[in-house]
Amino acid sequence: MRPEEVFGVNAGKVWKALKDAGRPMTAKEIAGSSGLKITDVYAALGWLGREGKIEIIREKKKILYRLLE
């Protein structure tokens, strides 16, 4: 599999985890929900960010991610 295919598949898993949760999540929560390693979650979040599909929310000491409508 080419790297862009791997990142794209993982981005789909992260997108689904966020969609199913229906709320902002931390990267660690996304990893637990999606079954991905944390490093793969961050790569997928970068992919989704580049596509303009997520929002980053800074909340006290947490960083949360949510899907843009």
Contact 1, 40 (CB under 8 A): no
In this predicted structure, what is the pLDDT of residue 5? 86
> Which segments of the chain have a pLDDT < 70?
none
Alpha carbons 39 and 8: distance in angstroms, whole number: 14
Is the domain covering 3-67 a CATH 3.40.190.80 domain? no
The pLDDT, as a whole number, for residue 2 is 87
Backbone angles phi, psi at 23, to 5 degrees: -155, 160
> For 12, which DSSP code?
H
Give the C-alpha separation, 62 to 69, whole Å: 22
Q: Where are the alpha helices (DSSP H) in 22-68?
A: 27-34, 38-50
Q: Where are the domains of the chain?
A: 3-67
Question: Is-above-0.85 flag for pTM?
Answer: yes
What's residue 18's pLDDT? Answer: 98
